Every structure is written in C-alpha cells, then in structure tokens.
C-alpha cells in the first residue's frame, strides 16, 4: 500500500525531537507527543495539551498506528484471552494474554505470517504476508491493556512470525517498549523466541540486551531438524548451538531451548541422550511442549510416559527441563490458528479473492 503518511508511533524520542524542531516547535513538544502515543491514544485530538493548529498539521502528515480487535476468545478454564488484531491495511495477527501469579504476560506477533515454513506450525503453513512495524508490535500490547483494564508486565515475542527475520523493526520495538517515558517494560521482562537465524543471534548477543533468548530447537540432530524446520538447511544445528553458546557467554543470560514433543518423531530416549550431549555446557534450560496438532499436518502429541522418560534422561545428564504449562487449551492459544480459521471463514463467504 502506497503510504505518504508518517508512522509517528514508530519514532523514538530523538527522532521526534528532530521532527518537531524541523516544524519550528519548542523542544518539549516531542516529550508531550511521545507520552500521548505511549499512553495509547488513537487520535491526535486526544492530545489536549497540543495546540489545535499543530494537531491539524499532524493529522495531515502522520498517522497513529493501532491494533483493532477483530476477534476475541476467552478461555473458560484459565481466563487466557486470545485476540485477532487488524492494522490499517487490513492485515491481521494474533496475540495472547495470559495471567500468571507474577502478573500478566502477552505473547505478541512480529510478522503477519512467516517465511520459515516449519512443518508443525499453523503460521508457517499459512505463508508470509508482511513484516510488522515497531508501532504495530507495540499497539498489540496497548490494545490488550486497554481492553482488559490491566497493566502487562511481561512480553514474549512468540506469536506469529520470526522476530529475527524482522530484525530492525523488532530492535526498534524493544527500544520503544522499554523506554522510561513509554510502557517502561524492562528487558528482563521480555523474551524473544527464534527458530535460529544464526547471524542475528550473534548481533543480538553483541548488543548485550538483558532479554531472554528462547531458541526453538525441536530436534537433536540435523536429520530430524531439517525435516521439520527448513531453516536448519541454511543454519545447521552445530552452527546454531555455537551461536547459542556465544550468546550465553556474552550476556550471562540462560538460554531457553524450546522442544515440541512430537509422537514418534523426536521423542525417543535416543533423541533425549543426543540432545543432552549437544547442549551440555551451554547455560540453558529445556522447555518441553507437547506439540499442538494443526490442520494440514498429522503430528500428534507425545504420550505422557515419553515425556517423563525424556525429562529424566535430560535431568540425569545435569540439564534442567520442565514441561511447559499449557494455557488456553480450549481456545487454541498457540498462534496461527485463529488467523487461519478467520481467513477460511472469509474465503467461504467470498470476501477474499486471490
Ligand atoms: N518464530 C519464532 C517465534 C514464534 S513461534 C520461533 O519459531 O521460535 C513460537 C513457538 O511456538 C516456537 O517455539 C515454535 O516452535 C512453537 N510452535 C509452533 N507451532 C507449534 C505447535 N504446533 N505445537 C507446539 N509448539 C509450536
Ligand atoms: Fe515461523 Fe516460528 Fe512458525 Fe517456524 S515456528 S513457521 S519460525 S512462526
């Protein structure tokens, strides 16, 4: 979509300062506008301490990016809330809000769709639409907070998309969301999950941000990993684990290895032993997740006894592992499924062409 308007919510404080200086405005304007944008206003008219002629000028040159609620599902079991949000070009993404004892966590999307094509993932199966802008990642949090009347304390970049494939926008988002005059959510409260874009893991490590890196490993060797995750053909497991080691050493932060347990694919005792020997010595933790079945693939969850055996082999090798608590299981809280079902409904009604 050709867009002449400026995405003002993606600007950082320095860029806003320059912007208002160019308009001949006093220095404090940037701070005022930044603060309104990060409070989550949807229109310039809500910026009551900004003179009306300047507001008019802003309307003509800029837009305020928002995430509008298209659909909302509330879990009957644990009050997890799942949203389908839409942006100004009509593109949609999913977010999930979860309540834990320490507060609210939101899982946000970083892309509409994904290019990585993992075989077990609903988002991967749906293909790629576009990158999200920093403001669009931020807006998911703002709308979720407003809709629920809550303050979100933790963020996981684990929704639709591969964050390290939208690197610049994600880094900009991290800067904005952790800003003192913004939502002020510290890096220690943010996790980023990646399928393993190796060069970007090095780059992230060198930035020494205090965020938690989750790595979607899901297999102990190249043979299985390349079958389920095409990214492994480009960045094989040895290179990925080398980058993880570097990350952990450089930042002192424990890596979280995600491992979706798939019946008969990656859940044997031999897989557990191989995994243990590969990650030994890396400051890390393993999160086992019984795989969610998605339409179009016949993967099934591992049986309970497989999970227990797998975990005990890891623990005997000195590796800490837990089975991830599943929240919102009745609303398909894992991402990609709401969007694809909404697209199917629209297609059935003839609203989507091509
Ligand atoms: N693209 C990033 C982040 C989004 S996916 C990544 O892949 O890490 C978030 C997490 O959900 C990843 O760990 C991903 O592997 C996992 N996932 C995707 N589909 C799944 C499924 N069907 N069952 C269980 N976990 C799944
Ligand atoms: Fe993309 Fe992550 Fe899904 Fe793989 S698991 S297709 S990287 S969203």
Residues 145 and 252 placed together within one structural domain of the fold: no
Nearest atom, ligand 1, residue 159 CA: 4
195 lines ligand 2 (CB under 6 A): yes
What is the H or E stretch that residue 34 is in? helix 28-39
122 lines ligand 2 (CB under 6 A): no
Residues 238 and 219 placed together within one structural domain of the fold: yes
**Residues whose beta carbon lies within 6 Å of some atom of ligand 1:** 120-121, 158, 162, 193-195, 216, 218, 258, 260, 289, 291-292, 294, 334
Residues 74 and 50 placed together within one structural domain of the fold: no
Residues 71 and 129 placed together within one structural domain of the fold: yes
When divided into structural domains, the chain yields a total of 3
Residues 151 and 235 placed together within one structural domain of the fold: no
Nearest atom, ligand 1, residue 215 CA: 8
> Which one of the ligands is nearest to 215 CA?
1
Q: For residue 332, is it within any domain?
A: no
Q: For residue 294, is it within any domain?
A: yes
Q: Examine the residue annotation and report whether 335 is marked as an active-site residue of this protein.
A: yes
* Choice among 195, 244, 271, 335 that is catalytic: 335
Residue from 96, 115, 118 to probe ligand 2 pocket by mutation (most atoms less than 8 Å from CB) = 118
Residue keyed to tokens 């009551």: 48
Mean pLDDT across 2-29: 93
* Choice among 94, 136, 162, 258 that is catalytic: 94
User: What digits encode the pLDDT tens for the residues 154-204?
Assistant: 999 999 999 999 999 999 999 999 999 999 999 999 999 999 999 999 999
Q: For residue 345, is it within any domain?
A: no
For residue 55, with 0-12 CB atoms within 10 Å meaning exposed, 13-18 middle and 19 or more buried, which class applies? middle
Residue 335 has pLDDT above 90, yes or no: no
> Which one of the ligands is nearest to 213 CA?
1
User: What digits encode the pLDDT tens for the residues 119-162?
Assistant: 999 999 999 999 999 999 999 999 999 999 999 999 999 999 99
CATH label of the domain that carries residue 31: 1.10.150.530
121 lines ligand 2 (CB under 6 A): yes
Are 280 and 236 in contact by the 8 Å Cβ rule? The answer is no
User: What digits encode the pLDDT tens for the residues 70-84?
Assistant: 999 999 888 899 999
CATH label of the domain that carries residue 253: 3.20.20.70
Residues 78 and 183 placed together within one structural domain of the fold: yes
The DSSP result for 137-176, as a single string, is: HHHHHHHHHHHHT--EEEEEE-SSS-GGGSHHHHHHHHHH
Residues 221 and 126 placed together within one structural domain of the fold: no
Indicate which residue's Cα is closest to atom 19 of ligand 1: 121
pTM, two decimals, is 0.94
Indicate which residue's Cα is closest to atom 11 of ligand 1: 158
Residues 110 and 224 placed together within one structural domain of the fold: no
Domain boundary among 137, 163, 194: 194
Contacts with 96 (C-beta within 8 Å, 6 or more apart), sequence order: 80, 81, 82, 83, 106, 107, 159, 327, 328, 333, 335
Q: Examine the residue annotation and report whether 244 is marked as an active-site residue of this protein.
A: no
Percent of the chain with pLDDT over 70: 91
Q: For residue 203, is it within any domain?
A: no
Range(s) of the domain holding residue 59: 2-63
Residues 318 and 215 placed together within one structural domain of the fold: yes
Residue 288 has pLDDT above 50, yes or no: yes
Residue 255 DSSP code: E
User: What digits encode the pLDDT tens for the residues 240-281?
Assistant: 999 999 999 999 999 999 999 999 999 999 999 999 999 999
Q: For residue 132, is it within any domain?
A: yes
Distances (CA, A) of 260 to 174, 189, 218, 300, 303: 27, 23, 5, 10, 12
**If you measure from the C-alpha of residue 117 to the centroid of ligand 2, how many angstroms do you get, rounded to a whole number?**
6
Tokens of 183: 């939502």
Q: For residue 336, is it within any domain?
A: no
Q: For residue 348, is it within any domain?
A: no
Residues 167 and 225 placed together within one structural domain of the fold: no
Residues 71 and 166 placed together within one structural domain of the fold: yes
């Amino acid at each position: 979509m050709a867009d002449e308007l400026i995405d003002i919510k993606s600007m950082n404080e320095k860029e806003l300062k320059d912007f208002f200086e160019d308009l001949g405005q006093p220095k404090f304007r940037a701070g005022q506008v930044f603060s309104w944008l990060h409070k989550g206003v949807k229109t310039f008219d809500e910026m009551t301490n900004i003179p009306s002629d300047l507001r008019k000028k802003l309307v003509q040159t800029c837009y305020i990016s928002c995430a509008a609620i298209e659909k909302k599902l509330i879990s009957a079991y644990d009050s997890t809330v799942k949203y389908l949000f839409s942006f100004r070009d009509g593109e949609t993404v999913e977010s999930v809000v979860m309540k834990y004892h320490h507060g609210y966590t939101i899982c946000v999307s970083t892309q509409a769709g994904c290019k990585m094509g993992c075989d077990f993932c609903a988002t991967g199966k749906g293909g790629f639409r576009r990158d999200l802008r920093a403001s669009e990642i931020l807006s998911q949090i703002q709308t979720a907070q407003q809709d629920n009347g809550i303050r979100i304390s933790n963020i996981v970049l684990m929704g639709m998309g591969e964050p390290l494939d939208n690197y610049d926008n994600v880094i900009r988002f991290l800067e904005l969301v952790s800003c003192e005059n913004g939502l002020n959510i510290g890096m220690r409260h943010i996790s980023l999950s990646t399928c393993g874009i190796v060069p970007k893991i090095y780059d992230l490590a060198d930035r020494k941000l205090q965020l938690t890196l989750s790595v979607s490993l899901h297999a102990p060797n190249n043979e299985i990993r390349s079958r389920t995750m095409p990214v492994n053909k480009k960045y094989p497991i040895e290179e990925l684990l080398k980058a993880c080691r570097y990350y952990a050493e450089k930042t002192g932060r424990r890596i979280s290895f995600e491992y979706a347990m798939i019946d008969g694919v990656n859940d044997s005792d031999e897989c557990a032993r191989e995994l243990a020997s590969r990650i030994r010595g890396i400051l890390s933790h393993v999160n086992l997740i019984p795989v969610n079945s998605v339409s179009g693939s016949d993967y099934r969850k591992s049986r309970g006894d497989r999970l227990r055996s797998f975990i005990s082999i890891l623990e005997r090798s000195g590796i800490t592992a837990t089975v991830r608590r599943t929240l919102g299981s009745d609303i398909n809280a894992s991402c990609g499924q709401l969007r694809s079902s909404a697209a199917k409904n629209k297609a059935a009604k003839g609203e989507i062409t091509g």
